[in-house]
Structure 1
């Protein structure tokens, strides 16, 4: 049945996220390339709009069925509410899924709900952003940024993000922008107008660029005059910042705890024709032979700054969010202290997280400065805060399609 494999893949992916706490990247989508792409798009849409979908279903099914039927209903609702899929096709495919699995006895319920949704679609939700945001994240953003800013961030999360590219040779930006029909960004990268097959684009095989959100490219630029310097990139995989630094002439050592992710980093370096030393190790156990001129620590975090790219991410933390965040901030403190030991006199440490939460950004930098006595090296430019840090949020650049949320602070070791 055309379309059935994609819907089954979407339901499996949603179950992996909501029932087992996994990311889409950890899910194997079955079928041919087109079916896998369709399954991913449906799962993405369903989780991006989960709040509205679950509200609509609750109004029609007071006692929601268990998985997998609830997930079948969610994907069907996503199609009917936000994709304008033909009602007959969306309902028929959902019913076929139910009949083929352990929820066969509820196929009639799926059919009835689908028909009612098609006949009486829900009215467009006001403030749809916050209605679709995980409750724990909405609370945190409101506390950190205030209601109005939190609403703007939530609205930005509903928009499918564009694809940004970082360039191996910045001087090629003008020519590549024309060839790729892309927009040249103030950060030095390019933004594609569509979401094409990346590996088929001009310059990919030649290693002229790599995919990297504009915000994610900013922390590496905070290392002053990197050419010729020994730079340690901690938690480096999959290697966007490593490639930036190597392209700028730095002698880079890239370290990450994951062997699989470091293998991907090595593949990326090979494709773009850049070199860097690589180390697979736990930064808390590893020690270098000599100190570095600069250390870039893009620390493990909640990754809430990337929700617009990964709508499944906050759903993994619905239970135990506070405990998970406490563990992450404790790890960030330990990594900061460890990294500081490896900065040579006169060198700098850049601390970054792809988080929207001040607990993982501003608060960590402030606490580190207080206990270490490190000298703050203020950041300047359009994304600089009054305290001299770097901060981006998803609602920035709305006319361009937004950007990821990042925090970065810079410290100098005296000497």
Structure 2
């Protein structure tokens, strides 16, 4: 406090977010966590560097990285964090205290899992609570609870992780029903580990593995556990020598076999990884997508890679080309439940009802895609879902949906490294619990389903 010349006392103004180092990023994290969990909004759009949420765009690069780390951690371990918080409450928080809950989860994620001093995480959470009229009266609770969490984490965190499935019930139940309890638990354990970065390279996988600091998977993908620089700063980026693509996502295009000189349609093509694979293999590729913005990104990616394709903006269900294609790849929109390692918001923004709607859409898309293939030509259907409703079950229902195609099973030994992922019926299924290597950080791959068909004469 300072004293005015007339003897009155001037009280200091309360600090605003911009005055407290580290506070804006914590406030943004709690805000965006609320939007993800309460409004079921995907995190990718909120943290897009061009069109993201204003709270995100207001941060500098270093704080954006911290915000993403806080959010992905808070979502990856959301159930564990919630249990450790709940056991410290004498009574549940009021139903309308969602802002307080998000502040606590942001603080807890830092204390339990991130390299942030406990004192900083606690103090900033308390300052945040004090500065919000909705949570100011809970500031003492925030202080006491988070300090208790910091004191108890060494003894409590491990046992709680062992006893907890970090997933909402609908998602955990789906995995258990689909894969059995042991494998479901293995998938959920893999989701707790940050995914490695995979590269599809144009040539010389062994050489690029050395230059990028990684190794070559049995399928030919180059894998790096943790990048030491931004993707755009890595050798070979500007020259277009490779692109980032999960090892599982790189498999469906290869199931078409030799496409050199053939007309191939890549439906739902953006952002273009599979289009690039097909173009590199010598196909005459038509890349179709309904989104103008996503196609613009595909075009930029192809330009960097120095590859070409005919780009068409259209809804697949109304697309009518002048000529049928020798082969078609349909990587259909889906629940994305196979990408949880990279996108831990997915189980919290999707639901079983969403899966059912998407499966119905996919059935119609398969029927439309089949009509674009020449008689005798191949059709690949794939998606990055772990839910059989969007894969195995959908396939069982397919004969009732369309008589245009017949199964063309994938044969053992046909493609290097793929045999462990083949089902008895010749379809492909990968999960994050597959491809077990030396450590969890280099193991696993996205959950993917793929099936191959021939167009009937």
Regarding TM over 0.5, the answer is yes
**Deviations 1:276-304, CA, capped at 9 Å, x for gaps:** 11111211122111111111111111110
Say whether 1:17 aligns with 2:36. Answer: yes
Q: How many aligned residue pairs are there?
A: 410
**Aligned pairs (5 A) from 1:234-245:** 234-245=267-278
Report Cα offsets for 1:261-320 as digits up to 9, x if no partner.
Answer: 111111101110111111112111221111111111111111100011100011012xxx
**Paired residues of 2:334 and 2:385 also in contact (CA < 8 A):** yes
What pairs up with 1:324-403 in 2 under 5 angstroms? 324-369=354-399, 371-373=401-403, 374-380=405-411, 381-382=418-419, 383-399=421-437, 400-403=442-445
Checking the alignment, whether the CA contact within 8 Å between 2:80 and 2:161 is kept in structure 1 is no
Larger mean CA deviation between 323-332 and 115-124 belongs to 115-124
8 Å CA contact retained: 2:111, 2:121:
yes
Alignment check: 8 A CA contact 2:112 2:157 kept = no
Q: How does 1:7-406 map to 2 (within 5 A)?
A: 7-27=26-46, 28=52, 29=56, 30-61=58-89, 62-64=91-93, 66-83=97-114, 85-102=116-133, 103-121=135-153, 122-125=156-159, 128=162, 131-167=165-201, 169=202, 171-195=203-227, 196-317=229-350, 321-369=351-399, 371-373=401-403, 374-380=405-411, 381-382=418-419, 383-399=421-437, 400-406=442-448
Secondary structure of the 1:367 match is helix
Give yes or no for contact 1:60–1:113 (8 Å, CA) kept in 2: yes
Q: Which runs of 5+ in 2 are unaligned?
A: 1-19, 47-51, 412-417
Whichever of the two has the greater Rg, that structure is 2
> Deviation at 1:349?
0.5
- After alignment, is 179-188 or 337-346 more displaced? 179-188
SS at match of 1:216: coil
- The answer on whether the counterparts of 2:26 and 2:67 sit within 8 Å (CA) in structure 1 is yes
1:303-356 CA-to-partner distances (Å, cap 9, x unmatched) read: 100011100011012xxx232222111101100000011110110100001011
| TM-score (norm: length of structure 1) | 0.95
Q: Which range moved further: 94-103 or 269-278?
A: 94-103
What is the alpha-carbon root mean square deviation over aligned residues?
A: 1.6
Deviation at 1:126, TM superposition (A): 5.5
Q: How far apart are residue 101 of structure 1 and its match?
A: 2.4
**Cα distance in structure 2, aligned partners of 1:222 and 1:130:** 38
Q: What is the SS of the residue equivalent to 2:318?
A: coil
**In structure 2, distance between residues paired with 1:356 and 1:193:** 23
Partner SS for 2:129: helix
Preserved contact between residue 297 and residue 349 of structure 1 (Cα < 8 Å): yes
Residues 389 and 259 of structure 1, relative CA distance in 2, 3 Å threshold: same
Q: CA deviation at 1:376?
A: 1.3
Change (3 A) 1:128 1:198: farther
Q: Please, what TM-score do these two structures have when normalized by structure 2? A: 0.86
Are the equivalent residues in 1 in contact too, given 2:268–2:290 (CA < 8 A)?
yes
Describe the shift of the 1:18–1:257 C-alpha distance in structure 2 as closer, same or farther (beyond 3 A).
same
In 1, Cα distance between equivalents of 2:164 and 2:255: 33
Q: 1:23 to 1:274 in 2, by over 3 A?
A: same
Residue 407 (structure 1) shift? 0.4
Q: 5+ unaligned residues in a row in structure 1: which ranges?
A: none
Check the 8 A contact 1:129/1:158 in 2, yes or no.
no
Give the CA deviation at 1:260.
1.0
Q: In structure 1, how many angstroms separate the alpha carbons of the residues matched to 2:360 and 2:319? A: 18
The separation in 2 between residues aligned to 1:349 and 1:364, in whole angstroms, is 15
Secondary structure of 1:131 counterpart: coil
Q: How far apart are residue 193 of structure 1 and its match?
A: 3.2
